[in-house]
């Protein structure tokens, strides 16, 4: 699809603001944020260096200094969602620029919180995932403030807790707001415009047996051997998924066995085994159908083994898919901006991973600086040129949609 042409009424404003994008401002904010540890505590307790509170306070202060009306709300103790709003002449239309405050852990990463710049890149934990986009949002706010732009609608900046684990931050926003007409999430997409992504559904399959001493295995029932039959029964599940109708951007759903645990010691026949699976679901998929798919493959195993018993757990992961129409104004604006900035047409794509988007209850597209190949790595970086281009793309959306 060819993106719609830029709105001529806002083109002059966009050009004026775009020419004023400051590399020094963006890199300054980015380096300061990298230097603030905001490592997700995952399953541990939130504590300094393993939570979002300190970077949330920093982001609130920066938004306040840029003239935004700021608020904060805890998704969990020490783990705030933070917001900054630039009001327009009317509340609507509204656009949200959203990004998560947390980073993944830093085990094995040498000096992750000392940002440095080299060969046009900024290095450090969180540089691309996703403090770069957060810095770009601040630059958008700075440009609007310095040019004293009066918006016709409202602009909301949003820093979210806990994207890297259970997404409690975006789930809280989905319950309590703020909500917007459209949203950009600056996850590292190499600036591809991604209005859709698969969801992530996980669960545990458990098999059971009878424990006896391993010297008399014939008197027991081996739960690991039963799990081996489970793995085999699901071995061609991906072939079945590939035969179904694809999503125009996301393609086909996938299945992957991820973690297996069973037994306590080699001298005992194990009476319990569990397998955690990962199922990437399409926007059209229903999670109950996933459970039915699995049951349909496992129920026949009872024919050869009358004692075979399995259990499907409650979801270990349940992140919905995202599916914003390509025709949406925010998608078209970003595609148009990308085409102008790169000199070649840009098509909408699917984002490979799951994001906060479906929990926000606001129509959202993913588009941000940095590459997923750098996210979560032990040498994380973002290209400064991509940060500049991202800022200009976000400015295009702001001027098209709410100026």
Burial (CB count within 10 angstroms: exposed 0-12, middle 13-18, buried 19+), residue 291 = middle
pTM: predicted TM-score of the whole model, two decimal places: 0.93
Q: Which residues of the chain have pLDDT under 50?
A: 1
pLDDT at position 4 is 54
- Distance, CA of 364 to CA of 182 (rounded, Å): 6
Give all domains of the chain, ordered by start, each with its CATH number: 8-197+321-401 (3.40.630.10), 199-319 (3.30.70.360)
Q: Identify the three-state secondary structure at position 110.
A: coil
- Distance, CA of 317 to CA of 337 (rounded, Å): 35
Query: Which token pair is 117?
Result: 């710049």
pLDDT at position 7 is 65
pLDDT at position 91 is 83
Determine contact, residues 70/159, Cβ cutoff 8 Å.
no
Active site residue 311: no
Residue with tokens 């029932």: 221
Residues 39, 52, 102, 172: which is the catalytic one?
A: 102
pLDDT at position 10 is 82
- For 49-95, the pLDDT digits (tens) are 999 999 999 999 999 999 999 999 999 999 999 999 999 999 889 99
Active site residue 102: yes
Q: What is the DSSP letter of 343?
A: S
- For 261-272, the pLDDT digits (tens) are 999 999 999 999
Dihedral angle at the C-alpha atoms of 10, 13, 18, 21, nearest 10 degrees?
-140
Residues 39, 139, 162, 163: which is the catalytic one?
A: 163
Query: Which token pair is 89?
Result: 């002449």
């Amino acid at each position: 699809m060819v993106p719609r042409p830029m709105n001529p009424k806002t083109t002059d404003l966009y050009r004026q603001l775009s020419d004023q994008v400051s590399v020094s401002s963006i890199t300054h904010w980015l380096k300061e944020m990298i230097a603030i540890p905001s490592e997700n505590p995952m399953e541990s307790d939130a504590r300094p260096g393993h939570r979002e509170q300190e970077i949330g306070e920093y982001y609130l202060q920066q938004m306040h200094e840029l003239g935004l009306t700021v608020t904060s709300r805890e998704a969990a103790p020490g783990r705030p969602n933070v917001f900054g709003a630039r009001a327009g002449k009317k509340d609507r239309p509204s656009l949200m620029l959203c990004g998560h405050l947390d980073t993944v852990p830093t085990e094995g990463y040498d000096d992750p919180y000392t940002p440095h710049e080299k060969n046009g890149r900024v290095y450090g934990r969180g540089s691309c995932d996703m403090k770069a986009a957060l810095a770009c949002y601040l630059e958008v706010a700075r440009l609007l403030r310095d040019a004293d732009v009066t918006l016709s609608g409202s602009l909301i900046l949003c820093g979210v807790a806990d994207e890297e684990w259970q997404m409690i931050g975006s789930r809280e926003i989905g319950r309590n707001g703020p909500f917007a007409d459209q949203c950009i999430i600056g996850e590292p997409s190499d600036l591809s415009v991604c209005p859709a992504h698969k969801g992530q559904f996980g669960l545990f399959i458990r098999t059971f047996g009878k424990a006896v001493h391993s010297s008399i295995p014939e008197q027991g029932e081996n739960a690991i051997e039963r799990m081996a039959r489970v793995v085999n029964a699901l071995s061609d599940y991906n072939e079945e998924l590939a035969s179904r109708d694809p999503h125009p951007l996301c393609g086909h759903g996938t299945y992957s066995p991820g973690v297996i645990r069973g037994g306590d010691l080699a001298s005992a026949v194990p009476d319990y085994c569990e397998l955690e699976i990962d199922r990437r679901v399409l926007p059209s998929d229903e999670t109950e159908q996933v459970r039915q798919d699995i049951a349909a493959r496992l129920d026949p195993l009872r024919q050869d083994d009358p004692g075979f018993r399995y259990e499907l757990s409650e979801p270990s992961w349940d992140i919905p898919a995202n599916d914003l129409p390509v025709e949406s104004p925010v998608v078209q604006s970003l595609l148009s901006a990308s085409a102008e900035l790169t000199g070649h047409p840009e098509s909408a794509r699917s984002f490979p991973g799951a994001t906060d988007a479906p929990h926000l209850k606001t129509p959202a597209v993913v588009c941000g600086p940095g590459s997923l190949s750098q996210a979560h790595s032990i040498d994380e970086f973002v290209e400064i040129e991509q940060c500049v281009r991202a800022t200009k793309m976000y400015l295009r959306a702001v001027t098209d949609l709410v100026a």
